[in-house]
Amino acid sequence: MSVLPCVGIGDIRIWPLLDGRMTVDEPPGFPAADDPEYAVHAEYIHDGKWHIDIGGFLVQSGDRLVLVDAGTGPGDGEVFAPNLDDSRAELVHWAAANGMTDPEQVLTALQSLARTDIRTGSLAANLGQIGFRPEDVTDVLLSHLHFDHIGWVSMDGKPFFPNAVIRCERHDAEHFLAPEHDDTFYRVMWNAMPTSERMAPILDRFEPWDEDALIVPGIECCFGPGHTPGSSFFSITSGSEQALILGDAVHCPQELMDPDFNGTGGDFDPEQSEATRDRIRRDAADQQVLLSAPHFPRLQFGRLHVGERARRWHFRWQS
């Protein structure tokens, strides 16, 4: 368990809730260790591996208690070691269905991803640590429907937040819950429960929104497609203060500073995703805006400083 500092935005309070971490091979394009930009990543990289935190944010606005993204869910603590040879036919099929014309090249990239170690499941305990119960949550807003953002919406075939309405943008609902949607990649690589199975127990309380929407006072849902068809981020505003909680359009601050760096790829529509990142960079150029995302290290909020020649990132707790 790990209680992270609460952030106040006017009258609204935000608690980052860690769910766990995945460890993957360091992607190409990271700054060298002697590059000043490397400092931002120091706590990401250990022994040549990239440590990616996973979590969500609990936002209290008036009488609403909103969970923004729901982690990966309970894990068994075991490293899942996929057998790519046994799954080769499925992965080749998946690659072809996703427009990848060289399945051999895809398999080589997958060898690296297959070494991912995912350990999660602490979000519920961290919610308890700050004094809330699952039944206190009134709304769950999902930035998108990838498995590492929806894990706690259900457990053992039942809604985990018994009083919450679960929401995401309509394009993601249509994409991920279509009968023909193929979860092979995530199931084979990371033993992930298919989105349709995870969401099935909450479908009677599932209310997608359309593009931009204001569902909870102070929390605006901003349509930012590309990573997935309905990917969204959230603008939290109270008084003169504002924070942005990003989804997976941005996995780490380096992607805000350097438009040429895309740490993880994996975007449904890379061009559209880059346009969304551009828009976020522009929104974040106002240095009063605090930003975080479900994969930022320790889910910390920070600010983007735009200088004449370069952008710089500062975590809030750094001096």
Q: Give the interface size with Zn ion as a residue count (CB under 5 A).
A: 3
CB of 151 to Zn ion, least distance (A): 11
Nearer to Zn ion, 148 or 220 (CB): 148
Q: Which of 28, 23, 77 is nearest to 45 (CA)?
A: 23
Residue numbers 20-79 binding Zn ion by CB under 5 A: none
Task: Fill in the per-residue mask, 130 to 149: x = in contact with Zn ion (CB under 5 A), - = not in contact.
Answer: ----------------x-x-
Residue written as token pair 């080769």: 88
CB of 248 to Zn ion, least distance (A): 4
Nearer to Zn ion, 69 or 220 (CB): 69
Nearer to Zn ion, 20 or 159 (CB): 20
Q: Which residues pair with 154 in a beta bridge?
A: 159
Nearer to Zn ion, 19 or 148 (CB): 148
Task: Determine, following the binding rule CB under 5 A, whether residue 248 of this chain makes contact with Zn ion.
Answer: yes
Task: Fill in the per-residue mask, 146 to 165: x = in contact with Zn ion (CB under 5 A), - = not in contact.
Answer: x-x-----------------
Nearer to Zn ion, 4 or 246 (CB): 246
The three state secondary structure string of the chain is: CCCCCCEEECCEEEEEEEEEEEEEECCCCCCCCCCCCHHHHCCCEECCEEEEEEEEEEEEECCEEEEECCCCCCCCCCCCCCCCCCCHHHHHHHHHHCCCCCHHHHHHHHHHHCCCEEEECCHHHHHHHCCCCHHHCCEEECCCCCHHHHHHHEECCEECCCCCEEECEHHHHHHHCCCCCCCHHHHHHHCCCCHHHHHHHHHHHECCECCCEEEECCEEEEECCCCCCCCEEEEEEECCEEEEECCCCCCCCHHHHCCCCCCCCCCCCHHHHHHHHHHHHHHHCCCCCEEECCCCHHHCCEEEEECCCCEEEEECCCC
Task: Determine, following the binding rule CB under 5 A, whether residue 198 of this chain makes contact with Zn ion.
Answer: no
CB of 17 to Zn ion, least distance (A): 15
Nearer to Zn ion, 9 or 168 (CB): 168
Q: Which of 240, 55, 221 is nearest to 130 (CA)?
A: 55
Nearer to Zn ion, 53 or 220 (CB): 53
Nearer to Zn ion, 218 or 224 (CB): 224
Binding site for Zn ion (CB under 5 A): 146, 148, 248
